[in-house]
Chain A
Amino acid sequence: MDLLPGLDLRCNRLPAPLPQWHGQVDAPSWQTAARAVRERGGRLVSLWGSPEAVHGAYRLPEGLLWLTLPLDPAARCCPDLSPVFPAAARMQRAMTDLQDIGITGATDSRPWIDHGTWAGHSPAGEYPFVRVTGDGVHEIPVGPVHAGIIEPGHFRFSVVGEKILRLETRLGYTHKGIARRFRELPPLEAHRLAGRVSGDSTVAYAWAYCMALESAASCTVPQRAQWLRALLLERERIANHLGDLGALGNDAGFAFGLAQFSRLRENLLRLSQQLFEHRLLMDGVVPGGVAHDLAMEGQDALLAQCTMLSGEVAELQEIYEGHAGLQDRFIGTGRVPPPLAARLGLTGLAGRASGMANDLRCDVACPPYDRLTVRIATHRNGDVAARVAVRFDEIFESLRLTRTLLDTLPSGPHRVPVPMPEQPALGAGSVEGWRGEVFVALALAPQEGQAVLRDCHCHDPSWHNWPVLEHAVMGNIVPDFPLINKSFNLSYSGHDL
Chain B
Amino acid sequence: MNTGLLSQLLEVLLALWLAPLLTGWVNQWRAWLQNKSAPSLLQPYRKLHKLFHKEPVLAEHASPFYRMAPYLVFGAMALACAIIPSLSTDLPLSPAADAIALVGLFALARVFLSLAAMDVGTAFGTLGARRDMLIGFLAEPALLMVLFCASLLSQSTSLTTIVDQFAHRQFAIHPSLALAGVAFILVSLAENARIPVDNPATHLELTMVHEALLLEYSGRHLALLEWAASLKLFAYACAGLALFFPWGVADARSPEVLLLALPVLMGKLAVSGALLALLESVSAKMRIFRVPEFLASAFLLAVMGMLINILLGA
Chain A contact residues, CB within 8 Å of chain B: 138-142, 146-148, 161-162, 249, 251-256, 258-260, 263, 323, 325-326, 328-329, 477-482
Other-chain contact of B287, A142, A254, A329 (Cβ < 8 Å): A329
- When A256-B34, A328-B287 are in contact, do A141 and B123 touch as well, CB less than 8 Å? yes
In the complex, B172 has a CB within 8 A of chain A? no
- Which residues does chain A contribute within 8 Å of B183, judged by CB atoms? none
Task: State the CA gap A249–B202 with chains docked (Å).
Answer: 12
15 contacts between A and B (CB under 8 A): A142-B205, A147-B204, A148-B203, A148-B204, A252-B285, A253-B199, A253-B202, A254-B284, A255-B281, A256-B34, A259-B36, A325-B283, A329-B284, A478-B206, A479-B206
Residue on A nearest B204 in the bound complex, by CB: A482
Other-chain contact of A139, B123, B287, B290 (Cβ < 8 Å): B123
Quick check: A256 and B281 within 8 Å, CB to CB?
yes
- Which residues does chain B contribute within 8 Å of A253, judged by CB atoms? 195-196, 199, 202, 283-285
Quick check: A162 and B288 within 8 Å, CB to CB?
yes
Nearest Cβ on chain B to A140's Cβ, whole angstroms? 4
Quick check: A329 and B285 within 8 Å, CB to CB?
yes
Quick check: B288 and A477 within 8 Å, CB to CB?
yes
Quick check: B127 and A140 within 8 Å, CB to CB?
yes
Nearest Cβ on chain A to B249's Cβ, whole angstroms? 35
Nearest Cβ on chain A to B155's Cβ, whole angstroms? 40
- Which residues does chain B contribute within 8 Å of A146, judged by CB atoms? 203, 205
Nearest Cβ on chain B to A132's Cβ, whole angstroms? 15
- When A139-B123, A478-B206 are in contact, do A255 and B287 touch as well, CB less than 8 Å? no
In the complex, B207 has a CB within 8 A of chain A? yes
Please encode chain B, from 25 to 40, with 1 for each CB lying within 8 Å of some chain A CB and 0 for all others.
0000010011110000
Task: State the CA gap A260–B281 with chains docked (Å).
Answer: 13
Nearest Cβ on chain A to B125's Cβ, whole angstroms? 11
Please encode chain B, from 194 to 229, with 1 for each CB lying within 8 Å of some chain A CB and 0 for all others.
011001011111110000000100000000000000
Give 10 A-B pairs besides A253-B195, A325-B284, A329-B287 with Cβ atoms closer than 8 angstroms: A139-B123, A146-B203, A162-B289, A253-B196, A254-B285, A260-B35, A325-B285, A328-B286, A479-B206, A482-B206
Nearest Cβ on chain A to B218's Cβ, whole angstroms? 14
Interface centre among A140, A147, A480 (most CB of B within 10 A): A147
Please encode chain B, from 272 to 291, with 1 for each CB lying within 8 Å of some chain A CB and 0 for all others.
00000000011111111110
Chain B contact residues, CB within 8 Å of chain A: 30, 33-36, 123-124, 127, 130, 195-196, 199, 201-207, 215, 281-290
Task: State the CA gap A254–B283 with chains docked (Å).
Answer: 6
Nearest Cβ on chain B to A469's Cβ, whole angstroms? 14
Task: State the CA gap A479–B212 with chains docked (Å).
Answer: 12
Quick check: B288 and A479 within 8 Å, CB to CB?
yes
Nearest Cβ on chain A to B66's Cβ, whole angstroms? 20
- Which residues does chain A contribute within 8 Å of B287, judged by CB atoms? 328-329, 477, 479-480
- Which residues does chain A contribute within 8 Å of B123, judged by CB atoms? 138-142
- Which residues does chain B contribute within 8 Å of A477, judged by CB atoms? 287-289
Task: State the CA gap A328–B287 with chains docked (Å).
Answer: 8
Nearest Cβ on chain A to B261's Cβ, whole angstroms? 35
Nearest Cβ on chain A to B165's Cβ, whole angstroms? 38
- Which residues does chain B contribute within 8 Å of A258, judged by CB atoms? 34
Nearest Cβ on chain A to B79's Cβ, whole angstroms? 32
Task: State the CA gap A326–B284 with chains docked (Å).
Answer: 6
- Which residues does chain B contribute within 8 Å of A259, judged by CB atoms? 34-36
Quick check: A479 and B36 within 8 Å, CB to CB?
no
Quick check: A255 and B201 within 8 Å, CB to CB?
yes
Nearest Cβ on chain B to A167's Cβ, whole angstroms? 11
- Which residues does chain B contribute within 8 Å of A481, judged by CB atoms? 206
- Which residues does chain A contribute within 8 Å of B130, judged by CB atoms? 161
Quick check: A256 and B199 within 8 Å, CB to CB?
no
Quick check: B283 and A251 within 8 Å, CB to CB?
no
Leading 4 A-B pairs by shortest Cβ distance: A253-B285, A325-B284, A148-B203, A259-B34
Nearest Cβ on chain B to A328's Cβ, whole angstroms? 7
Quick check: A328 and B290 within 8 Å, CB to CB?
yes
- Which residues does chain A contribute within 8 Å of B203, judged by CB atoms? 146-148
Task: State the CA gap A138–B130 with chains docked (Å).
Answer: 13
Task: State the CA gap A478–B201 with chains docked (Å).
Answer: 18
Other-chain contact of A252, B36, B284, B289 (Cβ < 8 Å): B284
Task: State the CA gap A460–B59 with chains docked (Å).
Answer: 40
Nearest Cβ on chain A to B211's Cβ, whole angstroms? 9
- Which residues does chain A contribute within 8 Å of B283, judged by CB atoms? 253-254, 325
